[in-house]
Amino acid sequence: MMSRLIAITGLLLLFPFVSSSQSIRVCEDDDDNNVFIPISKYMQKGDADCLAVWFADNLQVDVMGTVSNCSRNQARQIIRNFFTNYTPRCFEIVYKSGTYPMKYAVGNLDSGGNMFTVTILVKTYDAGNYIEQLKIEKQ
């Protein structure tokens, strides 16, 4: 009886380690789309400077139909102006897809009274992942 109790206790102690290692493995398997985690965080915070770190040297920015092919610095200013006018309250990725080297995500941005659909196109280079296109449409 005592040996059975010790064996059961030992097995129960192993379960937290097994399940935590499995969740780590799942996260690692989804590494292709992890690029959208920090991007989403900066979108939700309305942090144009941190978001701009992910911008390619030149990219296309489309804010409510005004399309600009611009430099990283110009795009930063465009997005900063957008965040000034529409302060984000919540941003959620609702769809991700793509194959190497291009990935994209579609998200919903709530600015507290205005809802926007945001499409983010990311390209992977040897040096890292960079946003090639950012589109913000009013819903």
Interatomic CA distance for residues 92 and 106, integer angstroms:
9
pLDDT band at 2; cut points 50, 70, 90: low
- pLDDT at residue 117, as a whole number: 99
What is the structure's pLDDT at 122?
A: 98
Give tens-digit pLDDT for 103-139. 999 999 999 999 999 999 999 999 999 999 999 999 9
Q: How far apart are CA 97 and CA 112, in angstroms?
A: 28
Q: Please tell me whether the overall predicted TM-score, pTM, comes out greater than 0.85 for this model.
A: no
Cα gap 40→91, rounded to integer Å: 7
State residue 85's pLDDT score: 97
Mean pLDDT computed over 73-100? 98
| Residues 6+ away with beta carbon under 8 Å from 82 | 63, 136
pLDDT tens for each residue of 14-31: 444 443 333 332 333 345
